[in-house]
Structures are given as structure tokens and as C-alpha cells.
Amino acid sequence: MAGELSPIDKAKFVAAKRAAQYVEDGMRVGLGTGSTAAWLVRCLGEMVRDDGLRIKGVPTSSRTAELARAVGIEVISLDEAKWLDLTIDGADEFDGDLNLIKGGGGALLQEKIVATASDQMVVIADVGKEVETLGAFPLPVEVIPFGWQTTQALIEETLISMDVLGRRSTLRMSGDVPYITDEGNHILDLHMNRIGNARQLALVVNQMPGVVENGLFIDICDAVVIGYGDGRVEVRDINDGTVATERLDFVEADNLFSDLSD
Ligand code: 5RP
């Protein structure tokens, strides 16, 4: 079955499979959102079912909660967990310092809260997510619906004085209607092309009234597991300063590949 996956899905799968090795019996684990994180949830479900792994999962979206329950992972809320041993999540971009852009899947708010409440955050990504400088991917910013156009104008005006290459923003849509997050908010995507000072931008954007959170994850990620379409994985740990490469085999149970939707 795995042989039928596209190279990018193979890359996501091997990254998720390798990152699942971080998960130990008894852990409270933050479960990310997106297509790569969905592979992780399926891998963990298999470990729960076949190896008797006992974990409690804190999902970062209603989608992930549904998938986690479906594959047999015990789901608890962050308030029940209070603190997590580990969060594993995808990313839209990561740079050499393992700073991230997240929120392409619209779950950045819960993702940031959960990752920040974890001893360790591990990002899983295909190699295409690595960038020298963040910003080619539009930065998602979650805003409350009240006065969102005023918030948008304020953000665009503020970007004039920031080290960025563009300041156009668009309201995220779901078909013909504005996208609504799990918290009932909207998302503005900021098309900046290049973010010269991500740390500063993250602070400034979050100070604006109407902004709930932005998708820049600065100094939150501890390690990234990068997957390649040929089965190679590279593990970079920012704390240890280590880089290790290995190859994983695609020998998996059919049911892991039976539902490829995120
Ligand atoms: C969701 C996210 C995702 O982690 C990010 O969009 C990457 O998704 P994918 O693994 O599908 O490429 O931040 O809000």
C-alpha cells in the first residue's frame, strides 16, 4: 500500500513514523493538526493497538480529536493534562533555528497553546518545508470576527514599518464563506514574502486589538524530523546540536493507509 503513496506522502509518513519513536509509555502527548500530523496519529494508534502503548493525547483541533479517537488513542483536554511531556506537530515552514510558520490548517491557536505547554516540541515535515528565511508561506493570524476589517487595516499599516517584503493580507475562506476556527474566529493570511525579523513581528502583531494569535512559533520547537520521498529521515535537535540521518522501510499494515484524508 505504501508503495502507492506519492513521494510527498511518503516523506510525511516517514517523518511521522520516526517521530513516533519519541513517544514513551505513560506520556501525555500533544497531537498536532494537518496531513503530516495525521500520519503521526495513525502511527500512534497502531502502537496503542499492536504494542499496548498507553498514552493520553491532547489534540490541537476537532479534526485531530476525531482521528485520534477513531484510531484508539485516549483523548483528554489540555486542562485535564495540565502539562505535556511532548507535542508532535507539522509546520508550514521551518528555518535553521527551528522557528516556524504554522496555521496553514487553521489550528495555530490550539497548536501554540499545546506546544508551549509541553516539555518538548518535535516538528515533522517533508523537506520542502525548510526555508532559509521565513515568510514565503503567508503568515496566518487568528483574529476575532468583531471588526476584523479594522484589524486587517491596522495590521497592514503596521507592516509598513516592519522588515517584510509585502503587506497584503487576505481573509481565509472556506468555499464562499469566511473560514471559522475551532474557537469561532477568522484567519487573516499575511503575504509578506520574506520576514526579516520574525521575533519582532510576532510580538508586534500580537499586541494589536482583535488579534488572538499569530502563526510564528519562535523558540518553541526543540527538534525537527525531516522526511524524504525515498524513505530517508533527518533528525535535527536544536538543544543537542545534533543531526542524524537514517532510512525507514515502508512495511506497514494496510489499515494505516486506508484513509488518506486529513
Ligand atoms: C495546521 C498546521 C499544520 O501543521 C501545517 O499547516 C502543516 O500541514 P501539513 O502537514 O498538512 O503540510 O499548522 O494549523
Give me the CATH number covering residue 30: 3.40.50.1360
Q: What is the four-CA torsion angle of 70, 50, 259, 14, rounded to 10 degrees?
A: 120
Spell out which residues line ligand 1, taking CB within 6 angstroms.
32-37, 89-92, 102-108, 111
Range of the domain at 119: 2-129+219-254
Strand 93-94: give its sheet, edge to edge: 93-94, 100-101, 216-217
Residues 80 and 154 grouped into a single domain: no
Residues 120 and 241 grouped into a single domain: yes
Distance of CA 137 from the midpoint of ligand 1 (Å): 11
Q: Mean pLDDT of residues grouped by 10 in the chain (262 residues)?
A: 78 97 98 98 98 98 98 98 98 98 98 98 98 98 98 98 97 98 98 98 98 98 97 96 90 54 54
pLDDT at 250: 67
pLDDT at 249: 77
pLDDT at 4: 80
Nearest to 28 by CA among 80, 73, 89, 81: 81
